[in-house]
Amino acid sequence: MSDPMNQTLSPERVRADVAELLGCDPAAIAPDDDLVDLGLDSVRIMTLVERWRAAGASTLEFPDLAEQPELGHWTALLTGAAA
């Protein structure tokens, strides 16, 4: 997907939002970590979907995140940048 969903969501913002819900330091999350394995459940993923929709990623859907729960994938999807 070469066209990012939203230019205002920075890689730093995506990482910080995920880390907040995991209760960890943003630097502790590697781009290829499985976020579900780290403790991100479906309720938290929906929280992120809603938060990022409000920030401008209006076409974001739950499966976009749930099917590949890795920070690097989410960052590329939302910003067009690699984590």
82 domain-assigned: no
33 domain-assigned: yes
How many structural domains does the chain have? 1
Looking at per-residue confidence, does 81 or 63 come out higher?
63
Identify the CATH number of the domain in which residue 19 sits. 1.10.1200.10
pTM of the model: 0.88
Confidence tier at 7 by pLDDT (50, 70, 90): low
64's tokens = 């976009």
4 domain-assigned: no
pLDDT (0 to 100) of residue 12: 95
5 domain-assigned: no
Q: What is the pLDDT of residues 14-69, one digit of tens each?
A: 999 999 999 999 999 999 999 999 999 999 999 999 999 999 999 999 999 999 99
44 domain-assigned: yes
d(CA 3, CA 17): 22
Structural domain of 51: 11-76
> Which residues, including other chains, have CB under 8 Å from residue 77's CB and lie 6 or more apart?
1, 4, 5, 60, 64, 65
